[in-house]
Amino acid sequence: MKTTIDSAGRVVIPKSIRSQAGLGAGQAVEITFRNGAILIEPSLAEVRLEKVGPWLVAVTDDEDESLSTLEVEDIIQDLRSRP
């Protein structure tokens, strides 16, 4: 999809792409430039695992922060890929 950059450097990400990426209003994103491409990715919350009963639970110190389903899936995938 074609879009434009305004004078303040802002770009509107089309709704269909935001939906596919699981991005919502006010969500933090990481922007990087790699191999000639600008990448915009959801910023994952800093979490740690705590044992709650028989379960390991991902928790964050930020009381206002809640994890999206996409973030939980990314964290699980990251943990499973560790040696």
Residues of the chain with pLDDT under 50: none
Q: Alpha carbon of 50 to those of 7, 42, 56, 80, 83: distances in Å?
A: 46, 24, 5, 16, 19
Q: How far apart are alpha carbons 61 and 41 in whole angstroms?
A: 22
Q: Which residue has the tokens 């770009």?
A: 11
**Do the Cβ atoms of 67 and 48 come closer than 8 Å?**
no
Q: Give per-residue pLDDT as tens, 31-41.
A: 999 999 999 98
1-43 under CATH 2.10.260.10, yes or no = yes
What's the pLDDT score for residue 65?
62
Q: Give per-residue pLDDT as tens, 55-66.
A: 988 887 776 666
Give the residue extent of every domain in the chain: 1-43, 48-81
